[in-house]
Structure 1
């Protein structure tokens, strides 16, 4: 349904909720008018229990197509996104085959995505051993930056960078003012940590200690200091790294930081043993650590919240029959994340405007998508309607992502996304069958 206007008592404009009519034209926000403004055409009138926010911009999603489409594909991932209020995704360069580490790998992604998208999708490139010469061509082809690992990624076709390789890639990326995004866990510390076969979550946690993150973050910051490159720390789970990051920002290093809904919503002491749906790397840590992450978001040390949606088949998640060292690590939260974070924020007296900034404006700014993540004239008409008068009872089998496994299964949140709008097209959550999404390139 193509909309001409949206009217609501609570629209997030300039960081504040106020009554407004949004007039839409050619997929853009034409104007922000008073609520009583007369409009013609197709108008979405939002209930008084609901809030209109910019569509979520999720810059950390593993879609896995081509090559591992049985784990997740463009159709199922973008449907899950639309149902959860995410109107823009940036896809990670793994676990697809081939990975997005060459122009050929990028072309394979683009071909697989053609005609399959319900929301807008862009692509990260990858930095791996031996592809320094591929980085500038990928940047010129429109990727939003480059992901690397400092420890094994879990898939052979995307190996980690050793310290020399990391610095070499970082120097090349700095030469064209690109962005390096880093899975920051130190390989040596992980190798030295006890990792016996075990179904106990406490044992898995010991195998991915805080020190692995802090050591890797120190390496990232040293590299940024030496090269002047822009760097971004992915999926921060350990609050032990916050002082390092705060000091780096005060120093003036160009560093940004993200965390994820599962680190903000769950705690290690509440995770059952052998529950592989909670396994992710780095791991979910204890409740005190979780509250420190919330404090860091409020203080601006952590800049944004992204899903790190990384599903796999039931066979992969169940590998080892509960042995958490063998099960695939990844939490499927694309459809659930915004509603979960909004609910948990409300419990902590944090306003929805802050959640929107962390999950829309700041993520859009990370990748220079200045027409996304904000409700202003001239921006894309990408919106999410979040209704606190509607409960969200989560059943994994009813979520749209490809494999019905979720750490959120069985939870109930007060409030959910009831409508998404992608460039003026309203998606019906009961009939999400339109392919309005576009492939995005990094702005020149």
Structure 2
């Protein structure tokens, strides 16, 4: 073998099908060889990963960075620095912004606005709503990874951020699915039935309640379950590929299992907050724990893990939603005035490493949930797995490190709203993040530069 650019030697390589010791050779940002421990290829640079685990870089397909509309909350530089710190090398951003990504033009404008800011590789979704059905096909041709649609109504005062993102009613929902089916891209849905949300919020408000737990009671599990049942019946009828985002109920997931057996193409996300927290945490954190869908009961949280273990849940994502402390704090007086969402880019991998350490996840499951399944579902053929010909995206992990989550050390601009996992004890830490063969984070310090990230789009279906 001729001399290569980089060798990562002596680490324990993690893939969905195997965990083994070996060396990885990289040239021109691509993996060119995986060798056993005995053979170390000649290289310009060598990273000794002895005693560490080497996993493909995390792919985060559900986050909101706000750029270029709400940069005081987050922008592509601060957000992708946070990603690099947390072992994330590729993201797919949701279209909520001002303006939202709802056309080929707004997509191109978003790419132009952020490509010089991103430290890691990035893609985008396009919104699909009642008001931009005629623009969906052009967005698919322009390079979106999929479509995003909300079944709940837009939050009051944020209508510009949600142009082209609301289904509005069942008739439009069916049409969105019909068009999405023509593109063969996944159509992603926030699943809470709007009519039921109006009913239950109306009841809570009629009682004069504004306390944090009023938010929990205004968005009960039945709203997610009904929305899921409706969507999956329509997906079966239209042949669309659908993704159920941030699922929080076991009954919704049981419906998905049923429709999968009927041949419906379904992919499914959940988040650390639904797997590790419960509605009792909202009593302590108040508006800083407000999110949609809301935190559920401890019993529901426990049941969600069954769907992680049996493979129903394909990916664990953050739904990173940055806000200002002042925006959240108004929720102490009236929970309905605080915006929903919580940051999470720097804790996604560490929290899941902790679950590996305590035996609730295997290394193979971790690689699938945080990268390999994501790359497969979104047709990122160059990403998501340590294999010859793939991009040399890695995160090196030291499982001997035991540490405490410290919000003051975070790169995200929204660290002031990070209340839910602050102070948690973690076993296992990402110590090096590598993007296409270049180190961008080392021992917690982000050393990558804005502009090094590349825009990515789905690999064409006929790609050999």
Q: 2:313 aligned with 1:310, yes or no?
A: no
Q: Secondary structure of 1:359's match?
A: helix
Aligned to 1:126: 127
SS in 1 for 2:459: coil
* Correspondence 1:285 to 2:288: no
Provide the rounded CA distance (Å) in 2 between the counterparts of 1:195 and 1:24.
58
Shifted more, 328-337 versus 310-319: the winner is 310-319
Aligned to 2:383: 372
Name the structure 1 match of 2:310: 299
Give, in whole Å, the separation in 2 of the partners of 1:104 and 1:14. Answer: 38
Q: What SS class does the counterpart of residue 20 from structure 1 fall into?
A: strand
Structure 2 match to 1:329:
340
Q: TM-score, normalised by structure 1?
A: 0.95
Q: Distance in 1 between matches of 2:153 and 2:343?
A: 21
Answering whether residue 362 of structure 2 is matched by residue 359 of structure 1, we say no
**Counterparts in 2 of 1:24-423, with a 5 A limit?**
24-38=26-40, 39-48=42-51, 50-94=52-96, 96-154=97-155, 155-157=158-160, 158=162, 160-161=166-167, 162-193=169-200, 194-196=203-205, 198=209, 200-273=211-284, 275-404=286-415, 405-406=417-418, 407-423=420-436
State the shift of 1:111 in Å: 1.4
| Structure 1 residues 274-317: Cα deviation after superposition (integer angstroms, max 9, x where no partner) | 52222110011122211211110111111111111111111222
Alpha-carbon RMSD across the aligned residues, in angstroms, is 1.7
Q: Counterparts of 1:29 and 1:153 in 2: how far apart (Å)?
A: 44
Unmatched runs of 5 consecutive residues or more in structure 2: none
- SS for the counterpart of 1:401 is coil
Q: Cα deviations across residues 113-158 of structure 1 (Å, max 9, x unaligned)?
A: 1211111000000012220111000000000110000112433121
Q: In structure 1, how many angstroms separate the alpha carbons of the residues matched to 2:446 and 2:238?
A: 49
Q: CA deviation at 1:108?
A: 2.0
8 Å CA contact retained: 1:259, 1:302: yes
Q: Match of 2:346, SS?
A: coil
User: 2: distance between equivalents of 1:322 and 1:86?
Assistant: 36
Contact 1:229–1:254 (8 Å) recurs in 2: yes
Contact 1:394/1:412 (<8 A) preserved: yes
**Equivalent pair of 2:19/2:363 in contact (CA under 8 Å):** no
CA contact (8 A) 2:16 2:363 kept: no
TM-score by length of 2: 0.91
Shift in Å at residue 201 of structure 1?
4.0
Q: Deviations over 1:72-120 (max 9, x none)?
A: 11001111111101100000000x1110001221122111112111110
State whether residues 197 and 218 of structure 2, in contact with CA within 8 Å, keep that contact through their aligned partners in structure 1.
yes
Aligned length: 441
Contact 2:30/2:437 (CA < 8 Å) preserved in 1? Answer: yes
How many Å separate the matches in 2 of 1:185 and 1:45?
48
Q: Could you say which residue in structure 1 is the equivalent of 2:439?
A: 426
Q: Aligned equivalents of 1:126 and 1:280: distance in 2? A: 20
CA separation of 1:276 and 1:320: change in aligned 2, threshold 3 A: closer
1:231-283 CA distances to partner (integer Å, 9 max, x unpaired)? 11000011121221110111110111110111112122243345222211001
* Greater shift in the superposed pair: 119-128 or 64-73: 64-73
Residues 287 and 331 of structure 2 are in contact (CA less than 8 Å); yes or no, is this contact kept in structure 1? no
User: Quick one: which of 437, 441, 444 aligns to 2:457?
Assistant: 441
Paired residue secondary structure (1:379) = coil
For residues 130 and 425 of structure 1, what CA distance do their matches in structure 2 show?
Answer: 43
